[in-house]
Structure 1
Amino acid sequence: MTADDPALTPARQRRERERAAARETILSAARDLAKREGWDAVTMRRLADEIEYSANFAYRYFGGRDEILLALVRDGFARLHDAMAAAGQPSADAAAAVRRAGHAYLDFALAESDVYQLMYGLGGVRVPATDTWTEGQAIGDVLTGLLTTAGDRRPEPHVMQLWATAHGLIALRVVGRVDVDPTELHALLDDALTDCLARALPKTTEKKKP
């Protein structure tokens, strides 16, 4: 049910819009606070200070801090999925679509590093993986579908390899173990994509990069 559902009365539609706006205000404040001070700083009291409301305001829309973090993780996975799916839109070169989706994953992790850290437990605060298992699996399903379309008969292990490479690069950068810029990270990922596609696809599938 959404705020624009024609089955709702105008008054109910207005209340749903207000509820959605309030939830987004709280989630936005949580993202901003985490970006400045880390996820440990995100508490219900601190959020109340951020949005200049009483501490009870956030409890009207979320059951507590864990519910807010869970909502942020689910939103992060949804936006990552959409970014990869859009980048991997079908084209004449199916292998190129795999590359684009892989680089979209890296772009998201770099652009939204705070949310990405929360999604994968890198920021000192963990949301149980079982709570977002379906959303996380959907990310791999994007690459699985693209590899299958490109001719890969065993896409699952190749998806695992590519995910481990992309996630590993981001994790090493987050914890300060590597000091490389985004261009270098993309180059490293592209090398991994080249190796993976060479093994995964029929010899004639992958076109030479310009």
Structure 2
Amino acid sequence: MTVEARDDPAPTRAQQRRERERAAARESILSAARELARSEGWDAVTMRRLAERIDYSANFAYRYFTGRDDILLALVRDGFTRLRETMDTASKQPMSGSATRASGTDVAAIRRAAHAYLDFALTEPDLYQLMYGLGGVRVPAADTWVEGQAVGDVLTGLLAAAGDRQPEQHVLQLWATAHGLIALLAVGRVDVDSAALHALLEDALTDCLTRALPTPAASPRRGTRSTGKRQL
């Protein structure tokens, strides 16, 4: 006589409520960490300071995270997930104008995804610095390798769809440009506005796509370039 396998029972209302409460508590802690880092830097994010900020006992955060490093890891993983989603969404936006050729659409998607990467870093500089170890606090890259790789996979897939035979190599070149611009801005080595950064990235995209793709589309200018000052 055999016992038939049974599906796991559906969670009860009480279990669902506890799970919602747990998710809300975790998010309140993560939100407090982001706000504290934004105002005082990542070094200020400690379990004690977080408890003070959310007005709970010092042990409250330990119910949901093993410690500060666990909180930072959760923030980095969430950051990479949101960055990937932002780039993916941007790449799928309807193409403006009358261009209908597949190659033109593919190239426009690549450009939108690359500029979305830069916009994310400019909009959330504190989180971006934590994700890439620019803020003096590091989360081991091996712990978020899968999430970080997924960001690069967005551009890799778009380049491959457009006919690039070496998409991984060209993603590395584009990432080095975008990340390099952001890093120089973060440490105060360049004094440029966001329009100038996007213009520099656009030039790099045009150079890369000219080499990488059979018939890349011409660069659509995003506006007047702001020269700015550079400090090398």
Q: Give the TM interval when normalised to the shorter protein.
A: over 0.9
1:61 matches 2:48:
no
Which residue pairs with 2:91 in the alignment? 88
Of 42, 49, 54, 1:51 maps to 54
**Corresponding residue of 2:220:** 209
Query: What corresponds to 1:15 in structure 2?
Result: 18
Given the two structures, how large is their TM-score scaled by the length of structure 2?
0.86
Residue 206 of structure 1: how far off its partner (Å)? 2.1
1: CA distance, partners of 2:34 / 2:58: 17
Q: Where in structure 2 are the equivalents of 1:48-127 lying within 5 Å?
A: 48-89=51-92, 92=102, 93-127=105-139
Deviation at 1:89, TM superposition (A): 1.5
**Aligned pairs for 1:137-176 within 5 A:** 137-176=149-188
Structure 1 residue aligned with 2:27 = 24
- 2: CA distance, partners of 1:199 / 1:167: 21
CA deviation after TM superposition for structure 1 residue 192, in Å: 0.4
Between 1:28-37 and 1:92-101, the stretch displaced more is 92-101
Partner Cα distance (1:7, 1:182) in 2: 49
After TM superposition, the structure 1 stretch with the greater mean CA deviation from structure 2, 86-95 or 150-159, is 86-95
Q: Which runs of 5+ in 1 are unaligned?
A: 1-5
CA RMSD, aligned part only? 1.5
Structure 2: runs of 5+ lacking an equivalent: 1-8, 96-101, 222-232
Q: Does 1:177 align with 2:180?
A: no
Q: Distance in 2 between matches of 1:190 and 1:209?
A: 8
Cα displacement (A) at 1:191? 0.4
| Corresponding position of 2:39 | 36
Higher helix share: 1
Q: Whole-Å Cα distance in 1 between the matches of residues 207 and 75 of structure 2?
A: 34
C-alpha distance after superposition, 1:24-68 (max 9, x if no partner): 000000000000000000000000010010110000000000000
Q: Report the Cα distance in structure 2 between the residues aligned to 1:7 and 1:172, rounded to whole angstroms.
A: 51
CA contact (8 A) 2:202 2:219 kept: no
**Pairs aligned (count):** 205
Query: In the TM superposition, what whole-angstrom CA distance separates every residue of 1:176-209 from its partner, at most 9, and x where no partner exists?
Result: 0001110100000000000000000003x42453
Return the letter of the residue paired with 2:126.
D
Name the structure 1 match of 2:141. Answer: 129
Structure 1 CA distance for aligned equivalents of residues 109 and 218 of structure 2: 12
What is residue 227 of structure 2 aligned with on the other side?
A: none
TM-score normalized with structure 1 length: 0.94
Q: What is the alpha-carbon distance in structure 2 between the residues aligned to residue 207 and residue 94 of structure 1?
A: 12
Counterparts of 2:199 and 2:42, CA distance in 1: 30
Separation in 2, partners of 1:184, 1:209: 15
